Amino acid sequence: MSELDTVQWMEANQQCLIAEFERLKAKLASVADLPAQVAMASDGGLEHNFTSNIDYLTEWFGLTHFERDLLLLCAGAEMDSALAELCAAIHGNSQRQYVSLGLAMNVLEQAHWSALTPARPLRRWRFIEVVEETSLTHARLRIDERVLHFLAGVNYLDTRLQPLLSHHEARSAMADAHALTVKAILQALEGKPAPYPPIQLVGDDADGQKDVAASVADAIGLKLYGLKAEDIPAGAHELDAFCLLWQRESLVLGSGLLIDCAERTHVPSAIRLAERIGGCLFVASSETMDINSSGLRFTVNKPDAMDQRRLWEQALGASAKRINGALEGVSSQFRLSAKTISAVGEAVQADIATSPTPDQALWKACRGLSRRRLDDLAQRVKPVSLWEDLILPEPQKAILSQIAAHVRHRLKVCEEWGFAQKSSRGLGLSTLFAGESGTGKTMAAEVLANELGLDLYRIDLSAIVNKYIGETEKNLRRVFDAAEDSGAILLFDEADALFGKRSEVKDSHDRYANIEVSYLLQRMESYSGLAILTTNLKNALDTAFQRRLRFIVQFPFPDLEQREAIWHNVFPLTTPVDGLNYRKLAQLNVSGGNIRNIALNAAFLAADDGRPVGMEHLLQAAHGEGGKRERPLSDTETRGWLCNE
């Protein structure tokens, strides 16, 4: 602002304003033929050896000498009662203690009528409002409150904009990739005259986009304010008013604007504002927007695993040593912004310092981040199944173990060993579980969630698929965007609702159905966590689709030995049983899911009977399950259940 420090400048600005009022009072007194208390100053105003706020307004907005004095006169009528009384004396009416154009043209030098035309700065920038416009010459001229306070040395965001804008400060903790982006933007702006071209920040890290914009603004001496695209005024009049007030604030407050366009539906509003607003402007969005051919565009995605690990070490400080071994897993599994890492690191330091399992304290904090968003979009499944509960052939178990290993060691293989730099394609953990209902697909997902310490969410594709073009894609985007931070395991149930052999395109709906398939595959491949699709009909899936999956696990219908093992494991240890013949129970040709249903129903029958679970209860429950499936049990399946034959 000036070479003086803030306190000295405030005092000097106030004294300058008082002196300007005294100068104007002397002019008014001479016109009113009253004794002047001070000597008349020169036409150029008072001289001082610093830049006051009236000087800034004069320079920034190109005020003439008459416009400058008229603005000061209006300010004096509000702040100096003696000056207001002199105005009333000139008007010849004690009630008219205000400035009018006629008074100003009679008192001030270099007066000109055009000063109050809408095209001139005083009214164009709303420094002065004309009240009671019955006669422009005699109408009251009132200074805008925001401008009045600025002249007095009090600078703040206009109260009319405060509900719409939020202040973003530059952060010290920043991902290395984002710091390089800041440097690249500053280099691109170097040598360019103001106003700068719009700067697009495209990517999936909304917090990182704010950090980058705030750092750039800070480097060029500006504050940064953010505006959500959904809050952009819709009406033409309201939009004009917003643009004018913001353009004034960008100079008075020394600030830049960030338009945060999180939803596609608000893109037109963001583009319309961006093309009109001018000044230092950033537009943040997940996808590129067609704003200005001369604009700049930079990508800002969430930090990679290596960057996240460094940010965790910085956020945790000395506490990082207690969980050093766990930072690799946290960094590779959770995809968090620098802001989120800083906040979580600060919040869990006390828990890490006192917890006997500090790594679990950090992991739990990270898991809880996205539950609020995902719980509204999908069903969170509490994983209770363990490896010993999963009855599958060894080849299938081996593949599931591989999946867990891929999730656990992604940071080491993809980042440290360089596979991510070699190619970004095919690094997603997209997986297909295929098999009949009840063969263990959901249980296997639970086992992986338990093994990896992750949340499991079931998404019913039949509920997400929408008959309206584009809505399915929008629903899927919400799910993946909400899951990105947590690395939760996503279980897309009933994949047959969306995936099948791609039919010949006969109309627009066929074409968009294929687009929906491609979009889901693309998001699964780019998703940093584990995404699982389940289907009962693997053969109905497009072979091109199957090639894009990292893993395919076929869940076979259990044979006799596997069914016997399932029967042995189906009852909790605390359940009383009596005389169960597991070999004969295994004769029942049903899947594991059916076995669990029969066991549960038999337990209720036994509880009602007041006895331990016996073969008679299981037989009754099995017949009930067969009736539900519309497949009566054969004598071969139940032979010997109630006797020793």
> Is 450 found in the same domain as 319?
no
What's the DSSP call for residue 265? G
What's the DSSP call for residue 21? H
Distances, alpha carbon 510 to alpha carbons 461, 469, 471, 506, 628, in Å: 18, 10, 15, 6, 36
The range of the structural domain enclosing residue 565 comes to 560-638
Average pLDDT over residues 321-340: 81
Most confident listed range (2-11, 37-46, 191-200):
191-200
> Is 132 found in the same domain as 225?
no
Residue at a domain's end among 266, 282, 299: 299
Residues 154-163: tens digit of each pLDDT: 999 999 999 9
> Is 524 found in the same domain as 389?
yes
Residue 370 in any domain: the answer is: no
> Is 606 found in the same domain as 540?
no
> Is 251 found in the same domain as 215?
yes
Residue 157 in any domain: the answer is: no
> Is 540 found in the same domain as 585?
no
> Could you give the residue ranges of the DSSP H alpha helices within 409-495?
410, 419-422, 441-452, 461-464, 471-483
Distances, alpha carbon 8 to alpha carbons 12, 52, 236, 239, 295, in Å: 6, 12, 43, 39, 41
Residue at a domain's end among 555, 575, 603: 555
Residue 371 in any domain: the answer is: no
The backbone torsions φ and ψ at residue 332, rounded to the nearest 5 degrees and listed phi first, read -85, -30
Residues 248-276: tens digit of each pLDDT: 999 999 999 999 998 777 888 888 888 88
As a whole number of angstroms, the distance between CA 534 and CA 537 comes to 9
Sheet of 489-493: strand order equals: 379-381, 456-460, 489-493, 530-535, 429-435, 551-555
> Is 274 found in the same domain as 136?
no
Residue 643 in any domain: the answer is: no
Domain count of the fold of the chain? 5
Residue 159 in any domain: the answer is: no
Longest dimension (CA), the chain: 130
pLDDT of amino acid 420: 65
> Is 578 found in the same domain as 510?
no
Average pLDDT of the residues of the chain: 84
Residue 375 in any domain: the answer is: no
As a whole number of angstroms, the distance between CA 222 and CA 249 comes to 11
Write down the pTM of the prediction. Answer: 0.77
Return the closest-CA partner of residue 619 out of 633, 630, 629.
Answer: 633
> Is 327 found in the same domain as 450?
no
> Is 583 found in the same domain as 546?
no
pLDDT of amino acid 155: 92
Residue 374 in any domain: the answer is: no
Indicate which CATH number applies to the domain containing 517: 3.40.50.300
Residues 444-473: tens digit of each pLDDT: 999 999 998 888 999 877 666 655 556 777
> Is 252 found in the same domain as 107?
no
> Is 434 found in the same domain as 510?
yes
pLDDT of amino acid 123: 93
Average pLDDT over residues 291-310: 84
- For residues 200, 203, 208 and 209, what is the CA-based torsion angle, rounded to 10 degrees? 20
Residue 73 in any domain: the answer is: yes
**pLDDT at residue 570 tops 80:** yes
Decide if 277 contacts 307 (C-beta within 8 A). no
